[in-house]
Amino acid sequence: MAERLVGRLAPEFNMETVNGDGQAFGAASLNDYRGKWLVLFFYPLDFTFVCPTEITALSDAKEEFANMNTEILGVSVDSIHSHRAWINLSKEENGLGKLNFPLASDLTKSVARDYGVLIEEEGIALRGLFIIDPEGEIKYQVVNHNNVGRSVEETLRVLQALQSGGLCPINWKPGDKHLNTK
């Protein structure tokens, strides 16, 4: 049975990254995101079919996330060199093109394992997405089958609900009332 992470401090990580420009390499740690919200998402592999639809959609929504004091970090078990090649390949050639956030390399698979998304027998990650608050607590996690992409709209909605500070009923959207407990 998978361990529940919501409500707990996010597992620490230190990973090499390639910037979204496809040029510079860097590094990312959980500590780098203290004081901001973080959408940390795992995807199976570079140069696949569903992954670029999610990655580019999140990149396109970067400004909406930034307006909510939120950073985005994508992670797979591929190398930074594979990430770089994929970013530098145009969308027309089944690449990503330039991104608005970095991609991190989890070659050791330790981060995917710590977040409970590693498929051990295949050596790849499930599609896991975590929203981590500015203090490092995991507030939301969703993990699904690798054949099905996630929803940027739902990720934004959940982030807005978490940041609203109230009790949010089903399908809550900004401007809707919170539940009254009195």
Q: Which residues are part of the catalytic machinery? A: 51
Three-state SS for 113-152 is: HHCCCEECCCCEECEEEEEECCCCEEEEEEEECCCCCCCH
Tell me the residue ranges of DSSP E strands in the chain.
14-18, 25-29, 37-42, 70-76, 103-105, 118-119, 124-125, 127-132, 138-144
